[in-house]
Amino acid sequence: MYAIIVTGGKQYRVQKGDVVFVEKLNAEEGSTVKFENVLAVGGEGDTKVGAPNVEGASVEAKVVKNGKGKKLNIITYRPKKGSARRMGHRQPYTKVEITAING
């Protein structure tokens, strides 16, 4: 059984046991989160598609870790001005493990 969920403005296709890196959630490590925005649920020849969400469907996941991604180096350059600026960015994420798909 699989589900398509929406979190952090992105869509993820998940199954039970999957480990997914999603946008940062306000949840502690070891806690359980519930995703209510389920666009579709499918399984053995049976697929339910919502308009926009499937009624009564949810996905439960356990928070494994909160962290930051790899550092990206951004250089802003202005030609003919002798001006350049270096910036770095590390995107925060939450690593979750899917424990149950209801619906």
Residue 55 lies in a domain: yes
- Does some domain include residue 70? no
Compute the distance between CA of residue 3 and CA of residue 28 in angstroms, rounded to an integer.
24
Q: For residue 102, how many other CB atoms are within 10 A of its CB?
A: 12
What is the pTM for the complete model shown?
0.84
Query: How many residues are given for the chain?
Result: 103
Q: Is residue 19 part of a domain?
A: yes
Q: Is residue 46 part of a domain?
A: yes
**Segments forming the whole domain that contains residue 27:** 2-64+93-102
How many distinct structural domains can be found in the chain? 1
Dump pLDDT digits (tens) for 22-62: 999 999 999 999 999 999 999 888 899 989 999 999 999 99
Note whether residue 43 is domain-resident: yes
Report yes or no on 17 lying in a domain.
yes
Is 81 within a domain?
Answer: no
Position 30 scores a pLDDT of 95
CA distances from 46 to 16, 41, 67, 101 (A): 17, 8, 37, 14
pLDDT score of 43: 86
**Average pLDDT value for the chain:** 95
103 band by pLDDT with thresholds 50, 70 and 90: confident
Residue 86 covered by a domain: no
